[in-house]
Structure 1
Amino acid sequence: MDRLTEMEAFATVVDQGGFTDAARKMGLSKSAVSKHVSSLEARLGARLLNRTTRRVSPTEIGLAYYDRARRVLDNADEADSLVTAMQSAPSGLLRISVATDFGVNLLSPLLGDFLHRHPDVTVNMVLNNRFVELVSEGFDMAVRIGEVDDSSLRARRLADTARRMIAAPSYFERFGRPRKIDDLSDHKLLHYTSQSNGAVWHLTAPSGEKRQVRTAGWLSVNDGQSLLNAAISGLGIAYLPTFLYADALRAGKVIEALPDLPDDVKGIHAVYPPGRFVQPKVRAFVDFLVDAFAGKGPDRW
């Protein structure tokens, strides 16, 4: 006989307090349930149930076996449920944490397409530039730029971006164009106040030397789009990701300040909590993002 069926028959008899109710619960005959339990006892070589005309109760060995058997049965039910859920259509509330610049400029224009494809999903996208704890703060996933420092999270790379210094042609006409990193000290550098490393740009010289440049200019702001607008208006040099200024660069509104410097490439990742089971809504959105950003790279935005 099937071992799992024997185990289920025994556990159901204990749960229901007798063979008659257990048979009704399992949709079997009373004799079939009794046969499964007897087969289990014979295979184990132990009596698991005390049987009287009035009641059925587990023996000491039977009670210990019941505790472990119930765990096995519960795990089996959970495994079945996972398979069913993984094949079900994505649904429910999807909470996403996204860096502000990326969310406003690249992610929000895509949400309509995703929601039309998956009408049973609702999205709550939270834009911020701080590190969020996904599980404790109730997020299903996040899109992060840079290295994935939390090894407990699962991550899928969506694309790459780079950071470069840009300014308007009118700015360079007025203040001149820097030729090397040391020249930046004579320029108006627009400061992004959300940088974790403070008012410092970390640059790499063509020789590979790592350099630090303190930013001091007419404007400090915690929003990348505002910095881009300031750069376009000629207020100074901004150090921004390529996905943010690519359109302005193609339109000639900005040009690179030091194009010979090595690229500061950063990965863009979708991250979500670990586990063998990924919720359909999370899996669907991550797959959607992978397709949407396929072929994107540091200079392809």
Structure 2
Amino acid sequence: MDRLTEMEAFATVVDQGGFTDAARKLGLSKSAVSKHVSSLETRLGARLLNRTTRRVSPTEIGLAYYDRARRVLTDASEADSLVTAMQAEPSGTLRVSVATDFGVNHLSPVLGKFLARYPEISVNLDLSNRFVELISEGFDVTVRIGDLEDSSLRARKITETTRRMIASPEYLARHGWPDRIDDLNAHKLLHYANNASSGVWRLIAPSGERRLVRTAGSLSVNDGQSLLNAAIAGLGIAYLPSFLFAEAMTEGLVEDVMPDLPEDRVGIYAVYPEGKFIQPKVRAFIDFLCHEFGEGGTPRAPQLTLVASSGH
């Protein structure tokens, strides 16, 4: 006989406290349930149930076997559910959190294509520069830029961009070009205030070492577009991802302040809760992002193409 069928018959007898109720639960005859349990006891060479005219209860060995058998049956049921879920058409409400800069400039313009492809999915998009608690706040996925913290969450790299220091030609004409990282101490540096270490830039020196530069400008803001606007207005030097300033640089509104510094490549990731399997709606969304923007640092969207440094 099928081993799982025997296990299920035995476990249901224990759960229901007797053969009659177990048979009703399983949709089998009482004799069939009894036959499955007897076959199991014969195969194991042990008595698993104490049978009396009034009640049925597990023996000591039967109780130990029940604990393991129930786990096996639960895993088997979850495996069946997994296959069903993985083959299901992606559907339901997808809650997504993304940084405002990336969301407005890149994600929002392509969402229509995603929704057209998956008509059974509705998207609840939260644009925010704060660090969201994915699980406790009920988000399915978030898009994060930069180094990821160690956590129980899972992540998949969508693409990458670069960060550069940029300033307007007017600002550089007034205050001069910094030749070395140490020269930045004499400049107005614009803060990106989105975390505890937002007052520090981590730059890559020509030697390849990481240098920490404490910003000391007169403006602190938690929005990249606002920092770009401030840099264009000549308020100081901003340190921003290339997808934000690429167009402004092409138009000559800003320049690369220190083009000789090595490129600081930054990963863009889809982060989602850890689990035994990814919900179809989450998998569909992440696959879509990787297709649109290029997985593994090979950007496909023109806006994300790494920006070449300009000389001065």
With the shorter chain as reference, the TM-score category is 0.7 to 0.9
User: For residues 50 and 188 of structure 1, what CA distance do their matches in structure 2 show?
Assistant: 83
User: For residues 218 and 20 of structure 1, what CA distance do their matches in structure 2 show?
Assistant: 80
CA gap of 1:64–1:208, structure 2 versus 1, over 3 A, is closer
Secondary structure of 1:90 counterpart:
coil
- Decide whether the 8 Å contact of 1:140 with 1:272 is kept in 2: yes
Secondary structure of 1:95 counterpart:
strand
User: For residues 50 and 212 of structure 1, what CA distance do their matches in structure 2 show?
Assistant: 73
5+ residue gaps, structure 1: none
Partner of 2:111: 111
Aligned residue identity for 1:299: L
Q: How much does 1:144 deviate?
A: 1.5
Q: How much does 1:193 deviate?
A: 2.5
User: For residues 188 and 88 of structure 1, what CA distance do their matches in structure 2 show?
Assistant: 55
Q: Does 1:202 align with 2:209?
A: no
Partner of 1:171: 171
CA gap of 1:191–1:64, structure 2 versus 1, over 3 A, is closer
Cα shift readout 1:145-169 (whole Å, capped 9, x = no counterpart):
2222214222111111221111223
Q: How much does 1:209 deviate?
A: 5.1
Secondary structure of 1:206 counterpart:
coil
- Decide whether the 8 Å contact of 2:221 with 2:227 is kept in 1: yes
Q: How much does 1:267 deviate?
A: 1.2
Partner of 1:222: 222
Partner of 1:60: 59
Cα shift readout 1:109-142 (whole Å, capped 9, x = no counterpart):
2222222222222323333334333223322222
User: For residues 70 and 199 of structure 2, what CA distance do their matches in structure 1 show?
Assistant: 59
Q: Which moves more between the two structures, 103-112 or 157-166?
A: 103-112
Normalising to structure 2: TM-score of the pair?
Answer: 0.84
Once the two structures are superposed, the pairs formed by residues 84-99 of structure 1 within 5 Å of their partners are 84-99=84-99
- Decide whether the 8 Å contact of 1:265 with 1:298 is kept in 2: no
Partner of 2:133: 133
Regions of 4+ moved over 6 Å: none
Once the two structures are superposed, the pairs formed by residues 1-301 of structure 1 within 5 Å of their partners are 1-51=1-51, 55-61=54-60, 62-194=62-194, 196-208=196-208, 210-294=210-294, 295-296=298-299, 299=306
Secondary structure of 1:261 counterpart:
coil
C-alpha RMSD over aligned residues: 2.6
User: For residues 29 and 300 of structure 1, what CA distance do their matches in structure 2 show?
Assistant: 73
CA gap of 1:36–1:257, structure 2 versus 1, over 3 A, is same
Q: Which moves more between the two structures, 200-209 or 275-284?
A: 200-209
- Decide whether the 8 Å contact of 2:191 with 2:198 is kept in 1: no
Aligned residue identity for 1:277: F
Q: Which moves more between the two structures, 287-296 or 173-182?
A: 173-182
Secondary structure of 1:122 counterpart:
strand
User: For residues 41 and 200 of structure 1, what CA distance do their matches in structure 2 show?
Assistant: 69
User: For residues 64 and 209 of structure 1, what CA distance do their matches in structure 2 show?
Assistant: 59
Q: How much does 1:51 deviate?
A: 4.2
Secondary structure of 2:11 counterpart:
helix
Secondary structure of 1:46 counterpart:
coil
- Decide whether the 8 Å contact of 2:177 with 2:257 is kept in 1: yes
User: For residues 10 and 189 of structure 1, what CA distance do their matches in structure 2 show?
Assistant: 72
Normalising to structure 1: TM-score of the pair?
Answer: 0.87
CA gap of 1:55–1:250, structure 2 versus 1, over 3 A, is farther
Aligned residue identity for 1:230: A
Q: How much does 1:106 deviate?
A: 2.0
User: For residues 69 and 56 of structure 1, what CA distance do their matches in structure 2 show?
Assistant: 21
- Decide whether the 8 Å contact of 1:17 with 1:55 is kept in 2: no
Aligned residue identity for 2:56: S
Aligned residue identity for 2:57: P
Secondary structure of 1:165 counterpart:
strand
When the two structures are aligned, how many residues end up with a matched partner? 300
User: For residues 209 and 38 of structure 1, what CA distance do their matches in structure 2 show?
Assistant: 72
Q: Quick one: percent identity of the two aligned structures?
A: 70
Q: How much does 1:102 deviate?
A: 2.0
CA gap of 1:283–1:226, structure 2 versus 1, over 3 A, is same
- Decide whether the 8 Å contact of 1:162 with 1:298 is kept in 2: no
Secondary structure of 1:231 counterpart:
helix
- Decide whether the 8 Å contact of 2:191 with 2:219 is kept in 1: yes
CA gap of 1:195–1:249, structure 2 versus 1, over 3 A, is farther
Secondary structure of 1:148 counterpart:
coil
Q: How much does 1:18 deviate?
A: 4.2
Q: How much does 1:77 deviate?
A: 1.2
